[in-house]
C-alpha cells in the first residue's frame, strides 16, 4: 500500500469506540507509527524476503485482543 491513512480514519474504519481508541497503544519510530498494537503493523516495517534485521517486540499482560 503506497498511501498513508490517518490514525483517526483507521479508528473509524475499524469501528473502535472512544474507550477503545483511548486504550490503544502505538509503537513509534520517530514520528512514524510502526504498529497500532493489537491491530495492524505498517507495511513499511513488515518482515519481507529483503529484511536484514528484525527487532521482535512482545506485549505482555495487555488487555488488548490479538497480542
This prediction has a pTM of: 0.75
| Number of domains within the chain | 1
Q: Outline where 1-67 has alpha helix (H).
A: 7-13, 18-23
Q: Quote the Cα angle for 28-65-56, to 5°.
A: 45
pLDDT in tens, 3-43: 888 999 999 999 999 999 999 999 999 999 999 998 999 99
Question: What is the domain range of residue 21?
Answer: 1-67
Amino acid at each position: 500500500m503506497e498511501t498513508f491513512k490517518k490514525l483517526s480514519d483507521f479508528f473509524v474504519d475499524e469501528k473502535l469506540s472512544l474507550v477503545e481508541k483511548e486504550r490503544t497503544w502505538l509503537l513509534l519510530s520517530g514520528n512514524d507509527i510502526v504498529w497500532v498494537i493489537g491491530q495492524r503493523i505498517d507495511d513499511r516495517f513488515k518482515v519481507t524476503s529483503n529484511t536484514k534485521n528484525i527487532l521482535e517486540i512482545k506485549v505482555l499482560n495487555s488487555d488488548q485482543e490479538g497480542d
